[in-house]
Chains A and B, each alone.
Chain A
Amino acid sequence: MRNAFAEEIAALAAQEERLVFLAGDIGNRLFDNFKARFPTRFYNCGVAEANMISVAAGLALSGFRPVTYTITPFNTTRCLEQIRVDTCYHQLPVVIVGVGAGLAYASLGGTHHACEDIALLRALPHMTVICPGDAVEVKLALRAALQEDGPVYLRLGKKGEPVVHQKEPDFAIGRAITVRSGTEVCLLSTGNMLPVVVEAAEELSRKGVSAQVMSFHTVKPLDEDCLADIFTRFIVIVTVEEHSLVGGLGGGVAEWLTNQPPLKGRLLRIGTPDTFLHEAGEQEYAREVLGLTPFSIAERTLQAHSLALSTRLAS
């Protein structure tokens, strides 16, 4: 995803003169092309993320479209105060890009895990939260984010994730994308879990359950039209995210659901537990431990599906 981001930001800078790119002392070689082509619009702000966000706000107040980029927790939770006051309170068009969503940097330890960022940024007024599902969505999301008049948080994975979209889908902020159609259960994936969720749907299919997969890339604002539709059409709706169950996509959908009249669909939320991960290991290991594998997602969905069916029969 980060290579797609690097390509797209350079392409967009050629079209959008107001774009200024601020990096927090990472991705140096990744942006060589950008730096060579737009030397007055690239700033390495050092390991000083709070200042980087304030600088971005100052640029936005001067008519620019700044984009800040560093590792997810440092560009979100570390500088939450500056995001809240400088960008959200002032409602400024700053795009905040976190690289290494969820457990993407699992091996670097808990300081580099990002499983609370969606919850915290989603709570901020005026903030838009987008978690692209693959490299194709990264490019489309960045393009859309730069058109917004307020702050946008863009949550990227790292590199080498499988590409899910074979061609460019229609992309609009706040509109979920149907990746695979199904009839019995609906899996809502946000961010870098999309390839895993597609595999889970295939596993469900092998088990005889037809699963729809949607890339629910925008966590705020929620696609409420989509939710209203799927909760009347499907018996089980599953949210899947590499993020805490507290306040993420699942939390947002649950909040929405409590304000609805009784609907057909049951909600199952899959995400990371309310704890830190202390052990060494790569992302694959972390996902295994926390139940974020295709097999585990499929198993839990099947259980929820059986339960929903038996409950319906009983009533």
Chain B
Amino acid sequence: MKTLSTGDLKTISNEIRGKLVEMSYRARTPHLASALSCVDILVAAYWRVLSIDPQNPQDPNRDRFLFSKGHAAPALYVTLAYQGFFPKELLETFAQPGSRLAEQPSPRCVPGLELATGSLGHGLGVGIGMALGARIHSRSYRVYVLMSDGECNEGSVWEAALFAPAQKLDRLVAIIDYNKWQATGRSDEIMALKPLKKKWEAFGWSTYEIDGHDFKALEETLSRVPDGSGKPVAIIANTVKGKGISFMEDDNNWHYRSPDEKQWIAAQKELGLL
């Protein structure tokens, strides 16, 4: 089933990025750059790694993917729609009054959504509960939690980081979308985040640092769970905020800004969609 080439994945990523720019343009919503930075992680996970059937999204044996950086939710919505969890037409209602697709997801808003997020620092603890649940039930599913680097400001992340290795939850994966920015500045300057990899290692996680836009590296690392160490896995995915649109890349103004019509068209051209 999963025989897509890296080129195919790149095409999917570009389409998703194009849709994200369009949604931000039409709905005038912020957090576009945060969504763009994690697209390749989502594509690698959903198209190459996760065992989740869009036709049976409540299968108790499915892998769990918790999207903890809820402010970037459009990236998840588009991913789920393109995977077939719900009709793509629903994306047109994004952030409109009365839509099921709010800027940040509410509980059970669409099939495939595991957790309502938006307030940072919740996903990892909930993921631990799901991983413990798997062990009690003797199920072999894996639990992936995607977090932002800014999210690692939250104390609750580090409570969870201390607890998961104590329970030897080797089917739990923390992925950090390390785009080096948070809302108002560099994530290394606002809090002493560096050295991020060493921090997770010191907390007892089997830690990998990869290029978060390299499909091969993403697939290999996300697939290698459990990795034989007996520890939970942390993946520091180095990413570029605003990835894919030259005038948004690494420019934190796009944390809040939404594109105008000219910028939307320019972005579609860059992505090869026009």
A and B contact pairs by CB, cutoff 8 A, 7 listed: A43-B167, A45-B163, A50-B125, A55-B132, A58-B125, A61-B115, A85-B116
**Is the beta-carbon distance between B126 and A54 smaller than 8 angstroms?**
yes
**Is the beta-carbon distance between A51 and B125 smaller than 8 angstroms?**
yes
A166 to B107, CA, bound (A): 44
**Is the beta-carbon distance between B156 and A82 smaller than 8 angstroms?**
yes
- Distance in angstroms from A305 CB to nearest chain B CB is 49
**Is the beta-carbon distance between B115 and A81 smaller than 8 angstroms?**
no
**Is the beta-carbon distance between A54 and B125 smaller than 8 angstroms?**
yes
Q: Which residue of A lies closest to B126 (CB)?
A: A58
Q: Which residue of B lies closest to A51 (CB)?
A: B159
* A311 at interface by CB-CB < 8 Å: no
**Is the beta-carbon distance between A54 and B114 smaller than 8 angstroms?**
no
- For B, the interface residue count at a CB cutoff of 8 angstroms equals 30
Contacts of B156 in A (CB 8 A): 50-51, 54, 82
* A46 at interface by CB-CB < 8 Å: yes
A85 to B110, CA, bound (A): 18
**Is the beta-carbon distance between B133 and A62 smaller than 8 angstroms?**
yes
A50 to B167, CA, bound (A): 17
Residues of A within 8 A of B (CB): 20, 40-41, 43, 45-46, 48, 50-64, 66, 81-82, 85-86, 89-91
* B192 at interface by CB-CB < 8 Å: no
Q: Which residue of B lies closest to A54 (CB)?
A: B125
A55 to B143, CA, bound (A): 13
**Is the beta-carbon distance between B132 and A59 smaller than 8 angstroms?**
yes
- Distance in angstroms from B212 CB to nearest chain A CB is 25
* B11 at interface by CB-CB < 8 Å: no
**Is the beta-carbon distance between B107 and A54 smaller than 8 angstroms?**
no
A45 to B4, CA, bound (A): 42
Known contacts A48-B163, A62-B134, A63-B60; A54/B119 CB under 8 A: no
Per a CB cutoff under 8 Å, which of B128, B136, B160 touches A20? B136
For the complex of A and B, the 6 pairs showing the least CB-CB separation, nearest first, are A58-B129, A54-B125, A62-B133, A51-B159, A48-B159, A58-B126
Contacts of B106 in A (CB 8 A): 89
